[in-house]
Amino acid sequence: MISSVITTAFSGMAAQQQRLDSIASNIANADTPDYTRKRTDMVTVPGGGVKAVTREAQTGGVDLATELVDLIGTKIAYEANVAVMETGMDMWDTLMSALEPKDRDERWR
């Protein structure tokens, strides 16, 4: 259970990193002729978690205001996944500290 929480949070962090890469590419190419904006969507993965799928947007051109709003959303989503991962790790730490030393994970001996 705890490992699935951590795995799900990690997949969310990795997906937000890919989204950030798309936003950075869009901003860097805002003035490039014929550049088509990249869009990153999150897709659920069977068994839990998400993955990012990046594709060209249907509309051409880059609107910097849109990119900045997407950047803020990416930051918030990444921070939320970090908080979930930290909580899962805290739960693991609490569990390990409650066990007798002989029953603990090797990291705790």
Answer with the residue of higher pLDDT: 3 or 87: 87
Tokens representing 83?
A: 């908080």
User: Closest by alpha carbon to 17, among 61, 54, 45, 46?
Assistant: 54
pLDDT at 78 over 50: yes
For the chain, the domain total comes to 1
pLDDT band at 109 (very low <50, low <70, confident <90, very high): very low
Instruction: Give the mean model confidence (pLDDT) for residues 50-62.
Output: 90
Structural domain that includes position 64: 2-108
pLDDT at 70 over 90: yes
User: Closest by alpha carbon to 90, among 2, 1, 13, 18?
Assistant: 2
Average pLDDT along the chain = 88
pLDDT band at 103 (very low <50, low <70, confident <90, very high): low
Residue 90 has a pLDDT of 87
Residue 102 has a pLDDT of 67
